[in-house]
Structure 1
Amino acid sequence: MSLAIVITVVVVALLFDYTNGFHDAANAIASAVSTRALTPRVALAIAAIANLFGALLSTGVAVTIAASIIEPPSGARGLAVVLAALVGAIVWNFTTWYFGLPSSSSQALIGGLVGAGLASHSEIHWMSGVIGKVIVPMIISPVIGLVLGYSLMIIALWALRRANPHRVDRGFRIAQIFSATSLALGHGLQDAQKGMGIIVLALVTAGYQSDFVVPVWTMLLCATALAAGTYSGGRRIMRTIGRRIFPLRPVHGFVAEATASSVLYLTAFVVAAPISTTQVMTASVMGVGSTRRLRAVHWGVAREIGLAWVLTLPAAALIGAVAYPLALLLVP
């Protein structure tokens, strides 16, 4: 098996992590920037550093991606499957980034894997993997974010009902530095592992390792790629999350970030499920916004985001399936 093909897959996987970074950077910093707790450049630097360290905290999600979704054929055809899956995810990431839609990089990667798997007649673990470890957590996690964000916001409003509004805003702007950092750490914990999982799947498929243990060099490369992508921006999506869904105040931003962080840590450490940071943060913003009144949330924007979520899996799967025969041309 040509080492050059494996290196190509690793490089494309790092490109996916990079696009994941600039696509999803807005999740961690949009509310902090919107409430002026942080300037965009400082917020991006904090998010990049936190993503870097978060990526080194666990490998449970990476193992889920590598071992529980598909079982590609060994050798060159298997590497073509992995490469086509990455192409599907990257193309969809660029498409939704261009239109400023906060779609899920996680769903895009899973969709790419499934599409390439179907095109190659690979074994797909539908019930135990795709449905049990991906789709169910991805449906439940934003619901938890919505309900928990709403509940915590109600508690915060009641606790602060007699407080001075200016002091509250000042205090929560400072608190948002920590909550945004925590969310970025959770984003690194979740999203860098998807690239790690793909690289491990490629190494196993090519016969370079026999188990699904994530090598240290893979963790470091994926963490660096995600951090670099995070620092490069994501301003289009930042406007959608930070302003278009609901006009956030510092207390709203803090509660939404704290809520999303809690869900990310729970799913990464407890169930090792690859959930979407984008979905969880967006749902949390909707939850805190709904406490003011339902009309305060721009539900038309929410419908656009929901449509992107619904389309992500099948669209990335279609791209992955189309990319598979092209990827075959690159392998001997």
Structure 2
Amino acid sequence: MDYSLIVIVVIVAALAFDFTNGFHDTANAMATSIATGALRPKIAVGLSAVLNLVGAFLSIEVAKTISGGIVDELKITPAVIFAGLVGAIIWNLLTWLVGLPSSSSHALFGGLIGATWIAAGADAIHFAKVVEKVLIPAVASPLVAGLVATIGTFVVYRITQRARQEVVGKAFKSGQVLSASLVSLAHGTNDAQKTMGIITLTLISSGSLAAGSSPPIWVILAAGGAIALGTYLGGWRIIQTMGRKLTEIQTPQGFAAEATAGAVILASSHFGFALSTTHVCSGGIIGSGVGRRLAEVRWGVAGRMVLAWLLTLPAAAIVGAVAAAVATKGDWGTLLVGVAGVGIAIAIYLVSKRNPVDPNSIAEQPEPIPAGVA
């Protein structure tokens, strides 16, 4: 297998990951709007897909973090990156199957770190950058989003408690269209860039681009298109978890959660922090439940989500490391990893067909907002 062919294989795998990222993370932007009835399911995912594509062109700071910050691009090969992508894709599909909103971003980082460690040693990983750009944002972002959403929800209900509740509900449904659009745009500025960074890293490691290069325009377009397509197909299992199972969502809560998440993600993209949009949006939803008196936050579901968050990076790293150990043996190893990855993906898809999720079941109309819930 010559270099040009392995580069093409890695690019295809990166876009496949980007596609899974799209349907895995659609819930981040649209779960609350679908749950409250602010947007119909198909319209919601279509709008989110378009804005994900637009967002991909707004910034490249996160892409630079991936392509030149996490690992030493001169010490790895495209086969190593391919192994890391396989680890990320498999974890994404497994968590999608069980409806857990884990982090696609951390799956990618974990797979890449595990593969690099096995293939090139610990010295090829920039651990200081991993802590600064990945781990600290992973802890801080959901806490910040949760706190701001809690305060915002409380204030919204206090301000509107004497207003006619049907008017409040209608107004915030319109507001949710804007806030959900903001999250979708922000998602494109952060998550689509991670695939741009991976493809750029591949081109640098193969000698096709100079070290420190920015993503070419065709990379930006391809990554934005792949995540948009995945978003449009909709990750209904995870939308159901975030929109229905975490807490009872009403339109003021949905608006507060989405506006908070969008602001946090956009700020992080500006500074090049490759945070998890899943963590941010989940934190915002939980915060909106805490901020509304009498709302039930299902902490058991939240606990399972946090457990998945903690497992994501090391689990993907283990899969990436195993894949790298095989892929670096030669062309036959890379081929074996690719065949195994495709086989596992097909198996997960077939299992999912046994218990499909109806998008319309997620979009049930919420209960009217009771008076005095602030």
- Output the TM-score relative to the length of structure 2: 0.85
Whether 1:272 aligns to 2:272 is yes
Where in structure 1 do 4 or more consecutive aligned residues deviate above 6 Å?
A: none
CA contact (8 A) 1:196 1:219 kept: yes
Q: In the alignment, is the contact (CA less than 8 A) between 2:258 and 2:281 conserved in 1? A: yes
Shift of 1:326: 2.5
Letter in 2 for 1:67: G
- What is the 5 A alignment of 1:116-265? 116-122=115-121, 123-127=124-128, 129-210=129-210, 211-265=212-266
Aligned partners of 2:219 and 2:291: how far apart in 1? 43
* Bigger Cα displacement from structure 2, 149-158 vs 6-15: 149-158
* Contact persistence 1:106–1:275 (CA under 8 A): yes
Runs of 5+ unmatched residues, structure 2: 336-374
Offset of residue 72 of structure 1: 4.6
- Matched residue count: 328
Measure the CA separation in 1 of the matches of 2:154 and 2:162: 14
TM-score when normalising by structure 1: 0.96
1:319 corresponds to: 319
Alignment of 1:79 with 2:78, yes or no, is yes
SS at match of 2:120: coil
**SS of the counterpart of 1:70?**
coil
In structure 1, the gaps of 5 or more residues are none
Paired with 1:323 and 1:176, the residues of 2 have a C-alpha distance of 42
Query: Which amino acid is the alignment partner of residue 79 of structure 1?
Result: P
**In terms of mean alpha carbon deviation, does 63-72 or 200-209 score higher?**
63-72
Contact 2:289–2:295 (Cα < 8 Å) also in 1:
no
Q: What amino acid does structure 1 have at the position aligned with 2:196?
A: M
Counterpart-to-counterpart distance in 2, 1:327 and 1:200: 20
RMSD after superposition: 1.4
Which residue pairs with 1:65 in the alignment?
66
- Look up the match of 1:90: 89
State the SS of the aligned residue for 1:207.
Answer: coil
Deviation at 1:325, TM superposition (A): 2.4
Contact conserved, 2:115 with 2:317, CA < 8 A, in 1?
yes
What is the aligned partner in structure 2 of residue 49 from structure 1? 50
Distance in 1 separating the partners of 2:294 and 2:38: 25
2-side partners of 1:8 and 1:309: how far apart?
29
Query: Given that residues 72 and 81 in structure 1 are in contact (C-alpha distance below 8 angstroms), is that contact kept between their aligned partners in structure 2?
Result: no
In 1: Cα distance, 2:119 partner to 2:24 partner? 29
* Distance of aligned partners of 1:153 and 1:295 in 2 relative to their CA distance in 1, 3 Å threshold: closer
Following TM superposition, by how much is the alpha carbon of 1:294 offset from its aligned partner in structure 2, in angstroms?
8.0
- Letter of the 2:5 counterpart: A
After TM superposition, give the deviation of residue 161 of structure 1 in Å: 1.9
SS at match of 2:77: helix
